[in-house]
Amino acid sequence: MSSSMNHGPQCEARSTREKEAAKRVADGVPEGAPASKKPVAVAANYVAERVWSSPKPEMLMCDYGAPHSEVVYGFDMDDTLISTKSGKTFAANSDDWKWWHDAVPGKLREFAKAGAKLVIFTNQKGFRDKSTKELTDKIDKVQRDLGTPFLVLAALGNDGFRKPRTGLWDLLVSEANGGIAPDLERCRFVGDAAGRPALKKVKKDFSDTDLKFALNLGVAFQTPEECFLGPEAATATGRPYSTTTFAFDPRSLGKGGAAAAKIGPSGKQELIVVVGPPGSGKSSMATAKFPGYARANQDTLKTKEKCIKAVADALKAGKSAIVDNQNKDKATRKGYLNAAKAAGVPARAVLLEVPKELCFHLNCYRFMNKRSPEHRAETVPDMVIHGYFKNVEPPTKEEGFADVLTVTMADFEPRGSEEDIALMKSFLC
């Protein structure tokens, strides 16, 4: 009786240990590994049961069980969390990945243990027109290796979800954080695209979209070196980044004073020929500054000949007219000047002398803002904007203009609703 009471618990304990060992082997934990090395069991199950979805067009989401939290730690993926084993820019297959640094998985586990919600925000336009299986399989493998829950939000297109635009973050807040609003002061975003210069054998950052994304959100930004290796290691790279110095900063729009007041009707019948690149605000300026003028626009009338005829007809009828096109060379402008001369009406030119970066920005803004009367279903190709700046012939009085007025970015006036202006003054590209 005494013997059976002593052996029973020992047998039960041994049986329990054997079951636990068998389960650990089934979970992929090497025999003999300490219990602390075992992946979080629930996270491993999420890998097997994960569901990739597309809650909005041209974006993907997968939640590996990331807990809802006021503290969100966001990460870019490529060259921030992982890089390619092959050394190629783009992964050859779903197995062509490794951790960006050995410190990465341990740090991520620390952040999660401290209560942060881990979220990957990644631009993956390369998968827009092909199967995303390679991408999703790779991320599944990353999560399985990490063994810690996180959320993935991937932008596949060139829309509001693509960083630095905030669509992915907005979706997180509205649909993927249990109704909990993130505390921006405690959140951060980590990414390698910070606009850092080249140094010795290290290439310059391919862009600054990760830094701009963080600035748009109003959260702290870190490079992978700062986040995973510490400030001393980041400083040692000798590759600083700036949160205030950009080729173009939309936050400065509208801070140039009232110089644009010089642009407006002369008080007598006239012809205005606008000269400016695509996306420079020509149409907005024409509408706001010259109300009541007959407007000739090639996007609407389709050909230059029809625009010239519309101008001639308006001038003959005693109306003032404005030509709202690029009008980048003398040959294009000559037809309009001839129409003004035939009608005995003076012509003025308005030259929009603005930086190319503003044009790229407003090009994105028109595409994104469906509320805007200038909305376009597609962006103007970059090469068209580059082409204007390469070939433009600024207007002169010698051509036949009575005056040439110049508008600079300092004169630019953001217009629209509060929501429109907020979008215009955020980083979009």
Among the residue ranges 170-184, 195-209, 237-251, the one predicted with the least confidence is 237-251
Given a contact cutoff of 8 angstroms between Cβ atoms, the answer to whether 402 and 410 are in contact is no
Tell me the chain's radius of gyration from C-alpha atoms.
30
**Angle formed at CA 182 by CA 180 and CA 188, multiple of 5 degrees:** 150
pLDDT at 251 over 60: yes
SS3 state at 48: helix
171, 221: one domain: yes
Residue ending a domain, choose from 237, 259, 289: 237
Strand 403-407's sheet: what is its strand order? 294-296, 321-324, 271-275, 347-352, 403-407
Q: What is the pLDDT of residue 328?
A: 97
Task: Let me know if residue 199 belongs to a domain.
Answer: yes
Task: Let me know if residue 250 belongs to a domain.
Answer: no
Q: How far apart are CA 296 and CA 286, in angstroms?
A: 10
Q: What is the pLDDT of residue 261?
A: 54
278, 369: one domain: yes
Q: What is the pLDDT of residue 368?
A: 93
Task: Let me know if residue 32 belongs to a domain.
Answer: no
What residue numbers bound the domain in which 231 lies? 53-237
Q: What is the pLDDT of residue 51?
A: 85
Residue ending a domain, choose from 194, 220, 237: 237
233, 362: one domain: no
Task: CATH number of the domain at 93, please.
Answer: 3.40.50.1000
pLDDT at 413 over 50: yes
**Angle formed at CA 332 by CA 283 and CA 363, multiple of 5 degrees:** 30
pLDDT at 306 over 90: yes
Q: What is the pLDDT of residue 278?
A: 94
Task: Let me know if residue 257 belongs to a domain.
Answer: no
62, 174: one domain: yes
Mean pLDDT in residue range 173-188: 98
220, 284: one domain: no
The tokens of 239 are what? Answer: 């590759």
pLDDT tens string 68-127: 999 999 999 999 999 999 999 999 999 999 999 999 999 999 999 999 999 999 999 988
pTM confidence score: 0.81
pLDDT at 9 over 50: no
275, 201: one domain: no
**409: confidence class by pLDDT, cuts 50, 70, 90:** confident
pLDDT tens string 112-169: 999 999 999 999 998 877 889 999 999 999 999 999 999 999 999 999 999 999 999 9
Q: How far apart are CA 270 and CA 193, in angstroms?
A: 49
β-strands 321-324, 271-275 pairing: parallel
| Residue reference for tokens 């783009």 | 90
176, 300: one domain: no
Domain count within the chain:
2
79, 215: one domain: yes
pLDDT tens string 268-286: 999 999 999 998 989 988 9
386, 303: one domain: yes
Task: Let me know if residue 100 belongs to a domain.
Answer: yes
pLDDT tens string 11-59: 343 344 344 444 333 333 333 333 333 333 334 434 445 789 999 999 9
Instruction: Convert 206-255 into a string of H (helix), E (strand) and C (coil).
Output: CCCHHHHHHHHHCCEEECHHHHHHCHHHHHHCCCCCCCCCCCCCHHHCCC
Task: Let me know if residue 34 belongs to a domain.
Answer: no
pLDDT tens string 207-234: 999 999 999 999 999 999 999 999 888 7
